Structure 1
Amino acid sequence: MIICIGAGPGDIGYLPRRSAELLANADVVAGFNAVIDVVRPLIPATAEIVQMGYRDQVAQLDIVAAMHHAGKRCVVVFMGDIHFSGFQYLERVERACGHPVETMPGITSAQVLASRAKVCFDETSFITFHRRGDLTPFKRHLVHVLQDQRNAIVIPCPWDEARSFMPWHIAAYLLENGIDPELKTEVWENLTRNEAEWHGTLAECAEHRCSDMSIMLIRCKTPMASQIEPPPGVSA
């Protein structure tokens, strides 16, 4: 057995019960160093831990795949939810194994942000720049989302100065592409841990600096009207 699970946004209290059970019964637990640190209290003493970073992930996943094929129960842990910003890593896991693998969803920082900021995903688009490769199509998509009068929840790209696309870069890019500088914008850091929040306009965000552990909300100018019936005594 091999299964990929989402570990949640950083606080182990947000880990789904089913994922905790899978960890408790694992022979092998693998993942990036920071993610392993989140779930370490739930890893049994008998389990082998395979940690990795960006540079050695391919070689380490080959080791995990070999143990999987040898009959070990392997759990590969992702931060947040696999289906929000982990698909490239999932592809690496499946490439190492040689077949599709089962996945177990988790709570994401995007979901926590939606809860904190009281926005609905029906009226909001999620875009992540936390990925390898060309970011241009995703940048254009973000512009179109805001032009379509939708909220946007955005995960920045923090890897290095050469290609990072942090909230201040994102705001500057949007301003250059004609997006309203007065759109209400929020930057949240370390959600579910040592939280910090910043509120301002898109123009002000271009001057705001924050840590790598950040997520961004850009609110549409005119919120979508409620579709429920008016309260008693109020005409529609």
Structure 2
Amino acid sequence: MISAIGIGPGDPSYMTRLGEARLQKADIVVGFETVLQLADDLVPVTAERVVLTYRNQEDQLAQVAARHADGARCAVLFMGDFLFSGYQMLERLERACGERAERIPGISAAQLVAAAGDVCFDETTFITFHRRGDLQPFQQRLVHTLQEGWNAIVIPRPWDFMPHEISRYLIEQGVDERLPLEVWENLTGEEDHWSGTLASCPDSFSDMSILLIRTLTPIPSAV
């Protein structure tokens, strides 16, 4: 069995019970170093750990797929929820295996931001820039979302499209610089929170940041 497991935003208590059960039975546990460290207390002491980097991940995933084909129980860990940010890696994993992995979503930082910021997802668009390749279609989608009067929850891309660059880009595209902006860092860990506007966004956030951009126009309440 090979399981793709979202471990949550940082605090291990946010992992689902099913994800924890699969992890504790794994022969091989795979993930980026930061993710493995966050899940450290839940990884079996007998499990082999395979550390991914952005350069070696395809080779490492191919080796894990071969071990899976030989009968090893493999758990591949993703920060937060792979359906929010990490889907490209999930696709690489499944291509390497030649089959669909067991998918166990986790709690994402986007959900926590929505809860903390008192916004609901049916009035909010989620966009992640934490991906490889051309960002332009996603950048334009964010512009249109805000111009149409919807809230947006946004994950930046380290380190070339961070909160400051996102704010500057939106203003250059004609988005109102007065839109309220909030940035959270290290959710469920040593959290930090900043609030201001697009125009006042500082250039000082870490790669563990996520944004909430609010509309100035109230969205009509559902009947």
TM-score tier, shorter chain, comes to over 0.9
State the match for 1:133 in structure 2.
133
Q: What residue number does 2:212 align with?
A: 217
Bigger Rg over Cα: 1
Structure-2-length-normalised TM-score = 0.97
Give me the whole-angstrom Cα distance separating, in 2, the residues matched to 1:211 and 1:87: 22
* Residue range with higher mean Cα deviation, 42-51 or 182-191: 42-51
Q: Which amino acid aligns with 2:8?
A: G
Q: Distance in 2 between matches of 1:192 and 1:224?
A: 29
In structure 1, the partner of 2:52 is: 52
Structure 1: where are the runs of 5+ without partners? Answer: 229-236
In the alignment, which residue of structure 2 is the partner of 1:70?
70
How far the C-alpha of 1:208 sits from its partner, in A, is 4.3
Alignment RMSD: 1.1
Instruction: Indicate the SS of the match to 2:83.
Output: helix
* d(CA) in 1 for partners of 2:218, 2:109: 22
Listed as ranges, the matches of 1:1-236 within 5 Å are 1-159=1-159, 164-205=160-201, 207-227=202-222
Distance (whole Å) between structure 2 residues aligned to residue 37 and residue 15 of structure 1:
14
- Where 1:171 maps in the other structure, the secondary structure is helix
User: Percent identity over the alignment?
Assistant: 56
The separation in 2 between residues aligned to 1:187 and 1:208, in whole angstroms, is 12
Q: 1:216 Cα deviation (Å)? A: 0.5
Measure, in 2, the Cα distance between the counterparts of 1:56 and 1:21: 28
Q: Which runs of 4+ in 1 moved over 6 A?
A: none
Secondary structure of the residue that 2:145 maps to in structure 1? helix
The size of the alignment, in residue pairs, is 223
Question: Could you tell me how far apart the structure 2 residues matched to 1:9 and 1:44 are?
Answer: 21
SS at match of 2:133: coil
CA deviations over 1:49-76 (Å, ceiling 9, x no partner): 1111111111111111111000111110
Counterparts of 2:133 and 2:152 in 1: how far apart (Å)?
Answer: 21
Q: Which residue of 2 aligns with 1:232?
A: none
Q: Distance in 2 between matches of 1:227 and 1:97?
A: 44
TM-score by length of 1: 0.92
Deviation at residue 213 of structure 1 after TM alignment: 1.1
